[in-house]
Amino acid sequence: MTGTPGAPSAQDAEAAAGQGTVGKATYEEWLGLVVIVLCCVLVAMDISVLFYAVPFVSADLTPSTTEVLWVMDIYGFLLAGLLITMGALGDRIGRRKLLLFGAAGFGVASVLAAYSSSPGLLIASRALLGVAGATLAPSTLSLIRNMFHDEGQRRTAIGLWTAGFAAGAMLGPITAGVLLERFWWGSVFLINVPVMILVIVLGPILLPEFRSPSPERFDLFSAALSLAAVLPVVYGAKRFAEGHHDWKSIAAVVAGLAVGALFIRRQRRSRDPLIDTKLFRDRAFSTAIVTTTVVQFAMLGMMMLSSQYALSVLGLRPFVASMWQLPAIATLFLGLTLAGVLAKRVRPAFIVCTGLTVAAAGFAVMSLVTADSGLALIVVGSSIMTSGVGMVVLLATDVVVASAPPERAGSASALSETSNEFGGAIGIAMLGSIALTVYRREVEDVIPPGLPATADEATRGTLQAAMEVAKSLPDPAGAALKQGSIEAFTDGLQIAVLTGSAILLVVAAAAAIALRPVRIDAQQVGE
């Protein structure tokens, strides 16, 4: 990203060692990118594909409430917890090899999940999916680093990679809704199998192999520390989002952060670290990691709040509500495309700052939502936000990839992916907690006197529960509780998105300063 105009970077030259001079990607490499993006779509889709399938799973397997939560959460927990380990492993044994092993594991785990006959087997299958997904995510991005040496082409490839993950997360509920109209719940897992077979067949043909020329010893203790650091933080953040503001949630986050400090200390002292902490001395790299964390914070928080509004306030069916996410997907692609065009002419600092400001404006539009405003403001606000997110994530990811030497591309990619997972978890937890706190404070004023204790507790818990309680009450008490709880929820939504908007603006200002020295060489963008 930085350097003498017109001169290829030393990192690119090193990446091309043994593969000829730095040049344009071939047709074969672009086909290989298709294989990579397919992996991205499925890894992201499996995070959200169960949102609408849970009622069908519950009816068939009759899991307990705790088992339902584990079915939903175990995939994301292990995916986040193992990204750093798998990124480092790919640097050592080969990124294509790890990708192919992961694809095979993902396919097998999908079949096991689809035909699970008990909640325990489904939980175990989802856990295997998380492990396999953790091998796919960093491998895909690090392979892009080795396949696309031209700066402009690499940026385009990263844009498609980013779009694959974002579209997969948003398409999960839509895909599930379509399949569940015709097939049983296991079909939401079986759709992974043909794609993974395609990856296994075409991967050895279209994807190059790359491993560190001097592979280091794999530190199993560091791998265990990374898992022990990430899992408690994600778990605690999720508990906060669910309204459990108790000592267990706090203890989980604190314990994870403490283990994380031990992990970083070991990486600094180890001769064979899983991650190169020297990367964080690069201001552009550190800023890019923070920026990707914040945009995921915003996007996942937005998806959670907007879906709750559509389902609970407007009463839309899940499938119909998910279809209204399509405009946001379209504007995400628009933002990615615009960033790629602008990157040839202006500095990354301007693009990233503009993207964050646009995303903040999207949150500001959503703050205008009221109990009676309908869906239009949610759709417009979320679409504005994702256009800004698309601009940011393309440039930020490109900075991360370009900053790392080729032999450390897997570790750098894993750091980028881990920051995404953390950002999403924190966004759901923080914005969800703000909205829930405001809701609980205001709904107290509209709870009718004499309400049974269980109904009173349910009303204070969630808007959806309050709506069910309101249905059981005669008018005018029921109508008053329904309207009052909706207004309490929208007030909480407004404060949450305004908080998110303020955070985005602060990070925009910081990124504008930190990324100011970073330039993009005109010749490397292929002009």
Residues 8-36 pLDDT 10s: 333 443 444 434 445 677 778 888 888 88
Q: How does residue 498 score in pLDDT terms, banded at 50, 70 and 90?
A: very high
Question: CA–CA distance from 469 to each of 89, 326, 447, 479 (Å)?
Answer: 52, 32, 10, 11
pLDDT given for residue 8 in this prediction? 37
Six token digits for residue 167: 């579209």
| CA-based torsion, 379, 291, 401, 97: positive or negative | negative
- Domain 26-213, what fold? Growth Hormone; Chain: A; (1.20.1250)
pLDDT given for residue 4 in this prediction? 33
Q: Is the pLDDT of residue 526 over 60?
A: no
453/432 Cα distance (integer angstroms)? 25
Q: How does residue 408 score in pLDDT terms, banded at 50, 70 and 90?
A: low
Q: Where are the domains of the chain?
A: 26-213, 219-271, 282-527
Most confident range, picked from 17-26, 110-119, 200-209, 331-340: 110-119
Amino acid making up residue 327: P
Q: Is the pLDDT of residue 54 over 80?
A: no
* Rounded mean pLDDT, 134-158: 79
Domain 26-213 matches domain 282-527 at the CATH topology level: yes
Q: Is the pLDDT of residue 5 over 70?
A: no
217: left (phi over 0), alpha (psi -120 to 50) or beta: beta
Q: Which residues contact 447 (CB under 8 A, 6 or more apart)?
A: 456, 459, 460, 481
Six token digits for residue 272: 């064979």
pLDDT given for residue 23 in this prediction? 65
Percentage with pLDDT > 90 across the chain? 14
Q: How does residue 525 score in pLDDT terms, banded at 50, 70 and 90?
A: very low
Name the residue with tokens 């990619």.
Answer: 413
98 or 463, which is more confident? 98
521/135 Cα distance (integer angstroms)? 32
Q: Is the pLDDT of residue 2 over 80?
A: no
413 or 226, which is more confident? 226
Six token digits for residue 59: 């009816």
395/350 Cα distance (integer angstroms)? 10
335 or 215, which is more confident? 335
pLDDT given for residue 411 in this prediction? 66
Q: Is the pLDDT of residue 170 over 70?
A: yes
pLDDT tens-digit map of 62-117:
887 667 777 877 887 788 778 778 877 777 778 888 889 999 999 999 999 999 98
Alpha-carbon Rg for the chain in angstroms: 23
Q: Is the pLDDT of residue 329 over 90?
A: no
Q: How does residue 364 score in pLDDT terms, banded at 50, 70 and 90?
A: very high
pLDDT given for residue 357 in this prediction? 95
pTM for the full predicted model: 0.75
200/112 Cα distance (integer angstroms)? 18
Name the residue with tokens 């298709």.
Answer: 34
Q: Which CATH number fits domain 282-527: 3.30.70.360, 1.20.1250.20, 1.10.3720.10, 3.30.43.10?
A: 1.20.1250.20
Least confident of 59-73, 295-309, 368-382, 483-497: 59-73
Mean per-residue pLDDT over the chain, rounded: 80
